[in-house]
Amino acid sequence: MTLFYRKRNKRKLHQTSLVSSTLPSEPNNLGTSLSDNITHLKNKFKNCSEVVFRDITFGTEQQNQAQMIWMDGLVEREQLENEILNSLIQRSDIKLHPESDPKSFLEDMKTRVLKATQVKELLTMSDVVEGILTGDTILVFDQTPIALSISTKGGPVRAISEPQTEAVVRGPRQGFTESLRTNTTLVRRIIKTTDLKTEIFTIGKFTKTAVVVAYIDGIASLDVLEEVRERLSQIEVDTILDSAYIEELIEDHSYTLFPQIAHTERPDKAAAELAEGKVILFVDGSPFVLIVPTTFFRFFQSSEDYYERFPMAFAVRSIRFLFIVIALLLPSVYIAVITYHHEMLPAQLLISIAGSHEGVPFPTLLEALLMEITFEALREAGIRLPKQVGQAVSIVGALVIGEAAVQAGIVSTAMVIVVALTAIASFTIPAFNVGISIRILRFPLMILGAVLGLYGIMLGLLALLVHLCSLRSFGVPYFAPLAPFRWRSMKDLFVRAPIWSMNRASLRKPDEGSQRGAN
Amino acid sequence: MFPGKAIRISLVFLCLFTTSGCWDRQEVDKLAIVTGLGIDLISGPEPYLITAQVVSPASQTNIQESSKPFVTTLAHGKTISEAIHNFSKESPRKMFFAHNNIVVMSEKLARSGIQDFLDFLDRSPQFRRNAWLIVTPRTAKEVLQTQCDIQKYAAIGLKEMIYERYHPFSNKMQRKDTMSRLEGLSSAALALKIDIKNTDRIEQQKLEEAGNPVHNSSQQASQEKDQLQISGFSILNKYKFAGYLNDFETQGLLWFLGQHKGYPIRLPCPTSEQKYVVFLLNQKSKHFKPVMDQEPLQMIVKVSNNATMAENNCSELSLFNAKDKENLEKKLNEAVKQQMMVSLEKVQRSESDVLHFADAFYRKNPAQWKKIRDGYGKKFSETKVTITVKSEIRLSGMTSEGLKR
């Protein structure tokens, strides 16, 4: 197992948080005195205006005193009133008193009085605090060193909506939301088996973010699972704001352009990955779930490939791979051919290109860099700007800059075509994060092409190939199933065979070939 | 690989790429793209005159409407390499020959031998082996300075003309083929023949002579232009020019090469000599059977073809009449044989075996070939050739009986 571990991961995971030393140690166990406990808690939640402390007395002779504590906004108001307040205050048949028999009193509360669905006993002060912070309602009774925590988590959440980044023409239209429970539910609704396990981790000193590791028992690789658990348990950070934090903290290689963990917004995709033996990480507060382990070619497969009949899926996937190659190579090959290999072009084409180059003051490389960087800036500006303005900026950028630059003779028309085609091609990649990697890689390749011609591009591609083959994602070779080669997985790599022809095994464990060997 | 090391390695690569420079880098707008190359013999101590037809790309952008689509650059030298090198005296851009598909040689140069020139072309990495070799009775300079009507770049137009006219054989008579034939058993090969004709003026004259009402002949005259014209093949024997073949002889020659594809042939009507029935012929097969037992050598040539009726001006003939059809096929056989005999005679007279008989002799009996190899040209010219033609009329064109007469 330690083979999985590279030294730099350890270093990264052991970044200690700033607050760990400043927090005072808890006096932990609850006392028997209600007022002591409450004072302590009030002290703890000093200046926290949302916390509500409410006195209640109940019982046949109003003999029982208790304090209800919750965080306003984090709890479901209606539930709080119906399940707790009403059941305590209007009841007069509670005869027991905690002082005489705390055990049976609490048992009575839990089984008979409180109408809530989830009731837990809490023994320590820190558990109480955490319960309040996560949206539970806490009942602290007089003369009892045990508090009751009633799950009333609620408050405003975003409704389930269509995934923004992974829209499909055909297929389920629901996407994950920021709420962890909603997300796990969405997957549970698809996979109805007790083998779907969901282990929970809490990460982050401040955020105490819940991370759920989901997998199908018996299909998921135990090694990967163990590795995920170990890496998660070693994380020590203050805040986890999105699954991206987790991704960066547990990925195998930091110094690479390629993401080694995929993410998705689609429950159907998550379910499909689970069924193939992957491990899914839900992170509270993030609509993106993480998929581990991930191989390079996963990023180029869209869920729509499986929602269209296979000839269409095959055709679309082929076009996608073609355009990925264009997105990566077109500008660099154009530069190389135009500056070194003029004989490779048909005569008429060379004359046309030479004609469009006539009077352009810059070398081809500079011209290409200018245009490509301008395009990247336009793309970035398009994301940042408000939707309505963004459209206008794109039009201004594309039409005005492009047209004017050509008119002024600063760039050639051929270059505008190349840049535009590259831009379109780069958006055929279904995964945005790999799209960025490929867009960045274009630039070194362009320089190599300008310095060494096609030979340089070939060198660059070889280096890239070596790099890709050296990467691993949770012990699984990143370039699988091409390297190491696995014939059975070819049915769903560049082509997509009909679903009936892909047997269960190849559907399930496309990368298993080396998974075992890695240990 | 920790960051410090990564930075050091990337620095090494950065220096490697930026300080080494890009020696072979050549921006496309610094190139003079040569589409046609010509060579002439001139007087004086530097006998080679090289003409290059260079594309002027500015004509593409239509900024200067009046500018010519191409210019011709001249250079001369004692050797061909020197002449090529001398281009830089006059051209602001580097001559780029890789897109050159046309190599024109004047007849005068071809007569004195083209071995040196082909040697030069073959050694330089820039010249394509699939360029066409052309021998012209005019000068190469004139040919390259002649405009082509539809195609802006005359040399590219010329290339397309050759391609269309002799397709599919045109792809088998490029420099690579000519050279391998010259180096082969027969040491004889074909090149193309290009002439310049003022077609417009000639036809105009003929129109007037025929009694057509012609007006504005002066206005017409201003449009008169010299035209490039493909007018058959030229024969090279042992790297020297050995004669031309006209169009009719060229078509006859193509039968021997198995490349007669879609050329028309006419037969006079049975009753009237002024009317014809025309067939398009497509060669199906060609078979050589050499007989080398005694001198003179013998060659039995068998040729078969499919015929399609293209014109029928004879009212008395019908393809639906089995007898007529049979007669026509016989006449076709005779006509094809006649055509072949004419070109055979011409080729034999020049003692140049461009028909590849030598290959057939060699294949038949390599040992005996060694004996006849010396002085083969003479033996070739004395070879007795027996020709058998088998024609089959397959189609009557898009119609059947045709118009009533």
A442 close to A327: Cβ distance less than 8 angstroms: yes
- pLDDT value of position A513: 41
Considering only CB atoms, which chain B residues are within 8 Å of A452?
A: 17, 22
Tell if the CB–CB gap between B126 and A343 is shorter than 8 Å. yes
Tell if the CB–CB gap between A339 and B25 is shorter than 8 Å. yes
% of chain B at pLDDT higher than 90: 61
pLDDT tens, N- to C-terminus, chain A (519 residues)? 444 444 444 444 444 444 444 444 456 788 888 888 888 889 888 888 889 998 888 877 777 788 899 998 888 888 888 888 888 877 767 766 767 777 888 888 888 888 878 888 888 888 888 889 888 899 888 888 888 898 888 878 888 999 988 888 888 999 999 999 899 999 999 999 999 999 999 999 999 899 999 999 988 999 999 999 999 999 999 999 999 999 999 999 998 999 999 999 999 999 999 988 999 999 999 999 999 999 999 999 888 889 999 999 999 999 999 999 999 999 999 999 999 999 999 988 999 899 888 888 899 999 999 989 988 888 888 778 887 777 777 777 777 878 888 888 888 989 999 999 999 998 889 888 999 999 999 999 999 999 889 999 999 999 999 999 999 999 899 998 888 888 888 888 888 888 888 755 444 544 444 333 333
Q: Give A404→chain B minimum CA distance, Å.
A: 16
Nearest to B57 among A355, A363, A453 (CB): A355
- pLDDT value of position A18: 44
Q: Give B58→chain A minimum CA distance, Å.
A: 5
A357/B contact by beta carbon, under 8 A: yes
Residue in B with minimal Cα distance to A409: B61
Q: What H or E segment, with its residue span, contains residue A464?
A: helix A432-470
A356/B contact by beta carbon, under 8 A: yes
Tell if the CB–CB gap between B35 and A356 is shorter than 8 Å. no
Residue in B with minimal Cα distance to A8: B2
Look up residue A215 and give its two tokens: 């997998």
Beta strands in A163-250 (DSSP E): 196-203, 209-216
pLDDT digits (tens, 9 = 90+) for B233-269: 999 999 999 999 999 999 999 999 999 998 999 999 8
Among positive and negative, which fits the CA dihedral A231, A232, A234, A238?
positive
Residue B66 has pLDDT above 50, yes or no: yes
Residue B38 has pLDDT above 60, yes or no: yes
Considering only CB atoms, which chain B residues are within 8 Å of A339?
A: 22, 25-28
Q: How confident is the model at residue B195 (pLDDT cuts 50, 70, 90)?
A: very high
B67 vs B28: which has the higher pLDDT: B28
B55/A contact by beta carbon, under 8 A: yes
Residue B64 has pLDDT above 70, yes or no: no
Look up residue B57 and give its two tokens: 């790309």
Tell if the CB–CB gap between B98 and A340 is shorter than 8 Å. no
A335/B contact by beta carbon, under 8 A: no
Separation between Cα atoms, residue A92 and residue A60, nearest integer Å: 4
Residue B2 has pLDDT above 90, yes or no: no
**Which residues lie closer than 8 Å to A7 by C-beta, 6 or more apart?**
none
A289-292 sheet: strands from edge to edge: A196-203, A209-216, A279-283, A289-292, A262-264
Residue in B with minimal Cα distance to A351: B57
A119/B contact by beta carbon, under 8 A: no
Look up residue A80 and give its two tokens: 């709080």
Is residue A222 classed exposed, middle or buried when 0-12, 13-18 and 19+ CB atoms within 10 A define those classes? exposed
Q: How confident is the model at residue B216 (pLDDT cuts 50, 70, 90)?
A: low
Residue in B with minimal Cα distance to A451: B22
B53/A contact by beta carbon, under 8 A: no
Residue in B with minimal Cα distance to A347: B99
B235 vs B25: which has the higher pLDDT: B235
**Radius of gyration from C-alpha coordinates of chain A:** 30
CA–centroid distance for B23 within its chain: 38
B2 vs B218: which has the higher pLDDT: B2
Q: How confident is the model at residue B29 (pLDDT cuts 50, 70, 90)?
A: confident
**Chains A–B, number of C-beta pairs less than 8 Å apart:** 81
Bridge-based pairing state of the strands A196-203 and A209-216: antiparallel
Separation between Cα atoms, residue B109 and residue B194, nearest integer Å: 15
What is the set of domains in chain B, with CATH numbers? Answer: 28-245 (no CATH), 247-405 (3.30.300.210)
Tell if the CB–CB gap between B58 and A339 is shorter than 8 Å. no
Lowest-confidence region among B9-13, B14-18, B87-91, B220-224: B220-224
Residue B59 has pLDDT above 70, yes or no: no
- pLDDT value of position A191: 93
A75 close to A153: Cβ distance less than 8 angstroms: yes
Tell if the CB–CB gap between A350 and B28 is shorter than 8 Å. yes
Tell if the CB–CB gap between A342 and B96 is shorter than 8 Å. yes
Best to test chain A binding among B20, B28, B63 (most A CBs inside 10 Å): B28
Write down the pTM of the prediction: 0.84
Considering only CB atoms, which chain A residues are within 8 Å of B67?
A: none
Tell if the CB–CB gap between B26 and A357 is shorter than 8 Å. no
Look up residue A293 and give its two tokens: 């382990």
Q: How confident is the model at residue B300 (pLDDT cuts 50, 70, 90)?
A: very high
pLDDT digits (tens, 9 = 90+) for B337-371: 999 999 999 999 999 999 999 999 999 999 999 98
- Residue A32 has a CB neighbour count (10 Å cut-off) of 15
Considering only CB atoms, which chain B residues are within 8 Å of A342?
A: 26, 28, 31, 33, 96, 98-99
Q: What H or E segment, with its residue span, contains residue B331?
A: helix B322-349
- pLDDT value of position B76: 93
- pLDDT value of position A497: 86
- pLDDT value of position A503: 58
B72 close to B51: Cβ distance less than 8 angstroms: yes
Tell if the CB–CB gap between A451 and B55 is shorter than 8 Å. no
Best to test chain B binding among A11, A342, A351, A362 (most B CBs inside 10 Å): A351
Amino acid of residue A168? V
B20/A contact by beta carbon, under 8 A: yes
